[in-house]
Amino acid sequence: MRKIPVLPILVSSLFQIFALGVVALFGWTVHQILPAGEYRASAVVIMSVPFLVFAHLTVFRLLVTLFPVWEGQVVPSSQLEFNYNVVTVYALVWIYPLIYSHLVPVPLTPLLYRLLGARLGKNTYTAGAILDAWFVSIGDNCILGLESVIIPHVHQTQTLAHQRIVIGDNVTIGARAMIMAGVQIGDGAIIGMNSVVTQGTIIGPHEVWAGSPARLIKRTQAPAASPATAVSGLDRNSEVTRF
């Protein structure tokens, strides 16, 4: 692992202090608004905790916007490495502990990861962790099992890079499975629990993969389209033809 210089740590720390200052101001404001009583302090704490999470997520998104980390190789001593270090320090202190603590209920995970920059479709939830969320796109009706991990970065000795991970619709990823950088997973695919999908693997639609490293086990048939869906599809095609 590359050593993180002092300057990115200081820059990241300033943003962390700013977030904590905003939370402190919020707590003080709530304390002034609420009537005096033995439960006022408890109410301030209860209200400040979710605001603390929201504040850090918001400041982290601002940090990623100001210090963008883009796809590709991270060259030593480059602007990209500086940006990466600033973002990583903040993530290690606040974002990763939040993700791995499972404090956010599963029904709220789409909101969490969208705030972190991931592209998630409708009815998609995770009981696992998505790292570097802005490099991850997941379609509709997907489920990521307990303690599964999506890892869009490659970090081997002195090699550091980011590769986008794209997951289609109706995909199931089993518990404790790991999806590595550059992986593409087609619609309707299934990844078995405890599987490790290695870097750059391309999984086709309706394929079942399992193992460490993951291998193709079988292919499943796509569900037949309902009459309503078929009619809808014909309508869309006809509209395309007209225009």
Catalytic residue annotation: 155
Start-to-end C-alpha separation, the chain: 54
CB atoms under 10 Å from CB of 83, counted, come to 20
Considering only CA atoms, which of 223, 189, 221, 217 is closest in space to residue 203? 189
Beta strands in 40-177 (DSSP E): 72-73, 119-120, 125-126, 129-130, 136-138, 143-144, 149-150, 153-156, 159-162, 165-167, 172-173
Helices (H), 176-226: none
Rounded to whole angstroms, the Cα distance separating 208 from 204 reads 9
Rounded to whole angstroms, the Cα distance separating 55 from 95 reads 11
Indicate the SS3 state at residue 77. coil
- DSSP string of 25-36? HHHHHHHHHSPS
Residue with the two structure tokens 């599809």 = 233
